[in-house]
Amino acid sequence: MDFLSNAFNNIIGFLTSASFWMKTLQLIMSLSLLVFVHELGHYFFARLFRIRVDKFYLFFNPKFSILRWDPKNHTFNFFKKNPSEEEEEELRKEADKESDRAKKTSWRDTVYGMGWVPLGGYCSIAGMVDETTSASQLSAEPKSWEFRSKPAWQRLFVMVGGVLFNFLTACVIYAFLTGIYGDSYVPLKNAQYGMRFSQCAKDIGFKDGDIILGADGKEIINSIDSVLNAKKVSVLRNNADTVDINIPKNYILKVEDDAQAQSKSGVNNPLVFAEFMYPVVIKSVTSGGADKAGLKSGDQLLSVNGVETPDYRSFREVLLKNKDTSSSIAFMREGKLDSLKVQVDADGKIGISVKPINEVLPVVVTNYSFIESVGMGFKRGWSQLLSYITMFKYVFTKEGVKSLGSFGAIGSLFGETINWYSFWTITAFLSIILAFMNILPIPILDGGYVLFLLIEMITGWKPSEKFMDICLKIGFAFILLLMVYALGNDVFRFVLQ
């Protein structure tokens, strides 16, 4: 009973938190865009090759649609009940007759709409066996405007259109981010105060203060991912000794589990493997205890109640342990050591903002022209794709299966408040993931169709509609089971633990 009671309380607390709804909003915004782009890719190539598209929907619409636009019949409806199966069949037959008479198709043949279940979308293409059309619903003789009557290479383009558009979307987002914000980073070798490491990093030999030099004999500029996928990492310790640290197999999964455990324990900003250490220097005094005590902009905070705080994370941790107290804070001002009694409020804050990393450590900043930004966008998109493919191999390990997640895991990537740079960076990465996952050779996914089309182009054997229908049902059952398992992992990871 205690378990059920705690689980129920956790679920209620999780669903009613402002953080949950803010992350959910960002998740829906991001996936809505990516699903629309994906289906637009299929639609674009279908129309390019003059294939009729019967429906184009964002989100699924069981029973009714939030929005339904039929340009041919000049109807535009909100909260429209779906036609019955018999009515759908009659509409399909009528559309077939009109297409036969006109001997061509147009964008007006498509019903555009928005469903109410924000878990995806679909593009119903005439003459194609998919989740919206079974083999029994297709007419005996293929029509010139149907998917099944087109050459294999055209059908191939229609099927890879969604994946291609998702990849291009990621590259475009990266290009815009590069053009607007440039490329700004602190090289790992500039970590003059060293780095702070998570517990799982310390468990294999890293120590706070280490400076990462290279991985597998190659210098690392600014990519922590290179460390996680390496076999051996070299660090500079105590500014004197070079130490080699062996990275265990599948270590990246342990890092992910450690970050999730931190988040579950209440850490707002989990330490994922490593971060730069740099002094806590006041940027501005806003209000509260710091203002009343006399702290000023430029003061470097050294300790709280005798506990050293060499970086912001340790400073925050000590303040949280001294909530609602008057604490002694030692600081350096214009080269002189001093201390003051400062009131810490109930949230563990004293009313200051601190200088960000780019105002304390040497930063490399590169700005790009429009053309250069486009090139960097494609370069970054390709790099992210290769990185994700490398990480995907861990899914087939015991630890990887445990780490599978669905919408909960994806939603956790977003922040508790909307930061547009972060939002678009995550959206670009999700677009890469969506492209890769859809090209996997599993029936019901685009990759399943691509596999059969490639076999047809190589061997000349074209699978029948009935065969495709059976394969799609098997693929759907597999994906459904996988989603249930992943959703179960989300519930256990974010709610029940």
Query: pLDDT truncated to tens, each residue of the chain (497 aa)?
Result: 454 555 555 556 555 666 777 888 888 899 999 999 999 999 999 999 999 999 999 988 889 999 999 998 889 999 999 888 788 878 777 887 887 777 778 898 899 999 998 878 899 998 887 777 776 677 667 888 889 889 999 999 999 999 999 999 999 999 999 999 888 888 888 888 999 998 899 999 999 999 998 888 888 877 777 788 888 999 999 888 899 999 988 888 788 778 777 776 767 778 888 889 999 999 998 878 899 999 999 999 999 999 999 999 899 989 999 999 999 999 999 999 999 999 999 888 899 999 988 888 888 888 889 899 999 999 999 988 988 887 777 666 666 566 666 666 677 777 777 888 889 999 999 999 999 989 988 888 899 889 999 999 999 888 887 888 888 888 888 888 877 777 776 666 655 55
Q: In angstroms, rounded to a whole number, what is the distance separating the alpha carbons of residues 143 and 226?
A: 53
Rounded CA-CA distance 363/357 in Å is 8
Contact between 407 and 494 (Cβ < 8 Å):
no
Residues 218-226: contacts with CB under 8 Å, at least 24 apart? 219/189, 220/188, 221/185, 221/187, 221/188, 222/185, 222/186, 222/187, 222/188, 224/273, 224/274, 225/387
Give the span between the Cα atoms of 331 and 219, in whole angstroms: 36
The span from the CA of 483 to the CA of 432, in Å, is 19
Report the chain's C-alpha Rg in angstroms.
28
pLDDT at 157: 96
Q: Which residues lie closer than 8 Å to 368 by C-beta, 6 or more apart?
A: 178, 179, 182, 183, 376
Q: Return the pLDDT at 96.
A: 78
Q: Give the pLDDT confidence score for residue 494 in this predicted structure.
A: 58
**Nearest-angstrom CA–CA distance, 332 and 339:** 8
Looking at residue 22, its pLDDT comes to 85
Q: Within a 13 Å sphere around the CA of 495, how many CA atoms are in the beta-carbon half?
A: 21
* Segment holding 331, helix H or strand E: strand 325-333
pLDDT of the residue at 493:
60
Q: What SS3 state is found at 497?
A: coil
Q: What is the pTM of this model?
A: 0.76
- What pLDDT score does 259 carry? 77
pLDDT of residue 156: 95
Position 154 scores a pLDDT of 95
Number of CB atoms found within 10 A of residue 229's CB: 17
DSSP 141: S
Give pLDDT, residue 15. 57
